[in-house]
Amino acid sequence: MAERPDDHAPGRPPGETVDLGPDDVQAEHRHGRDLVSPLPATSHPAARWFDARLPLISGFRREYVAYPMPRNLNYLWNFGAFSTVALAVLLLSGIFLAIEYTGTTAGAFASVEAIERQVPSGWLIRSLHMGGVSMFFAVLYIHTWRSLYYGSYKAPRELLWLTGMLLLAMVMAAAFAGYVLPWGQMSYWGLVVATNALSAVPVIGHTLASWLQGGPTLGDATLHRIYVLHFVMAFAVVAVVVLHVVALHVTGSNNPTGVEVKGPRDTIPFHPYYTSKDGLGLAIFIMAFAVLIFFLPNLLTLPDNYIEANPLSTPSDISPEWYFAPFYAILRAVPSKLGGLVLAVGSLVVLSAVPWLDPSPVRSARYRPIYRRALLLLLVAFVALGMAGLRRPEGVWLVISRVASAYWFLYFLVLLPLLPRLERPLALPDAIADGAH
C-alpha cells in the first residue's frame, strides 16, 4: 500500500487554510481533491506562454501528477496501465505489419510467411502483435474481474463500466478481424462459423452475412472488408479509451474498501506514489511479455493456422484463440445456431447490465461474504468455459459448457438481485484511511 509521510493535504503546509466556495467544498468532500497542487507552478517563460493559450501542461499536471487517488489501492489497479502499454504495442506493431501485408486471398498467407521469414525483424514484430493480443486480453479479463470483485461498477461509475464493456466488445471485434487476416485454416473456418452464426439471425441474418462476405462466398471482398474493419476498429478503441479515462477522472477511482473518499486524508497524489507503483508492475509485466515473445512464441497459437486456408478441407475441430474460448463454448452449448448466438451475445449483455442487476449498497466483496463466494464460482465457471471452448463439444466437455453457461446467467439474473436480501454485510470502515491497512 502506498503511503505518504503526513496526513495534511499534499502541497499545503500544516494548519494553512484556503477559502473554498460551496461547489469546491462539495468537490473536496466527494473526491478528496486538494485545490492546491503539490508541485511548483511551471516556471519557464515559454511553458507559461504556451500553457496560457493551450493548457496542456497544467491539465496533465492536474490529471496525472497532482490528481488525488485513494491511498489504499493494491496491485490489481496496475492493470489499467498494463492495458495501455499492451494497446500501444498492438497499434505500433500493427502499423508495421500493415506495410507488408497483402489483403487478398491469393497473397495474404504468403505475405504473412514473408513477414516471418524475409522481412528484417518481421518475426519479432509479428510475435509482438500476436503475443500482445494475448497479453491484452489477459489484462482486460483480470481488470474486469477486479471491477466486479470491488464493485467498481456501482454508482456513480455506471458510465465508466459501460465504456469498459464497450471497449471489451470492440477489442473482441478487432481481434477476430485480425485472427482472420493471416488466411490460415483456422482463420478461414473461424470466419465460416461466424458467418453461419450471423445468417441464423431472423430477417436480417442473411443480409448481414452477405454484407460481411461481400458476395455469396468468402473471397477477396471478404478479406478486404475484414482488413478495413480491423484497422478502423483498432483506432476506434483508442477513442473509447479516452472516454473511459475521462469517465474515470470525473468520478474518481474506486478502492478495495468500496468506501468513497471523504477528504484529503484518504488520498495521495498520483505522482510519485502510484507512478512508482505502476512502474514496478510494468517492469514485471514487460518481463512476462518478453518471456512469451522470445521463449514461448507459439504457446497460445493454433498449429493449423500455419496451414494456408483450404475451403475444400474442413479441420476435424474448429478451435478459437484462447481469449474467445469461453464465449465460443457458450455458443456451442445448445444445438440451435440462433440459440447459441443469443446466449453468446447475451452473456456480454448481462455483464454490461451489472450496475442495474446488483442493488446492494455495499461495493467491495471484502464485506459481502456470500457475494464473494458466488463471484469466485463465477470465475471458476469462466475458466471452465474457456477449457471447454478449446475442445470438441461432446461428452463431459459439453456438459461442463452447459453447466457453466447456466451458472453464468444464474449469477447475473438471479443471484445478484437476490443476494442483498440473503446476506448480512460486514461492518464497513468509516473512511478509507481507517481501513487502509
Element (H, E) at 68: strand 68-70
- Cα dist from 340 to 194, 195, 196, 208, 328, whole Å: 12, 14, 12, 17, 9
Looking at 34, 260, 278, 423, which residue is catalytic? 278
Looking at 34, 51, 321, 423, which residue is catalytic? 321
CB atoms within 10 A of CB 222: 19
Is residue 89 within 8 A of residue 293, CB to CB? The reply is no
253 is catalytic: yes
337 is catalytic: no
CB atoms within 10 A of CB 99: 9
- Cα dist from 280 to 5, 75, 219, 362, 431, whole Å: 21, 10, 47, 31, 28
Looking at 8, 224, 249, 271, which residue is catalytic? 249
For residue 71, what is its C-alpha cell?
491511498
Separation of alpha carbons 168 and 175, rounded Å: 10
**Of the candidates 413, 404, 407, 210, which has an alpha carbon nearest to the alpha carbon of residue 326?**
404
DSSP conformational letter for 308: B
CA angle 169, 294, 144 (to 5 degrees): 25
Separation of alpha carbons 413 and 402, rounded Å: 16
Looking at 277, 352, 358, 405, which residue is catalytic? 277
Looking at 253, 347, 352, 401, which residue is catalytic? 253
16 is catalytic: no
187 is catalytic: no
249 is catalytic: yes
Just list the catalytic residues: 249, 253, 277-278, 321
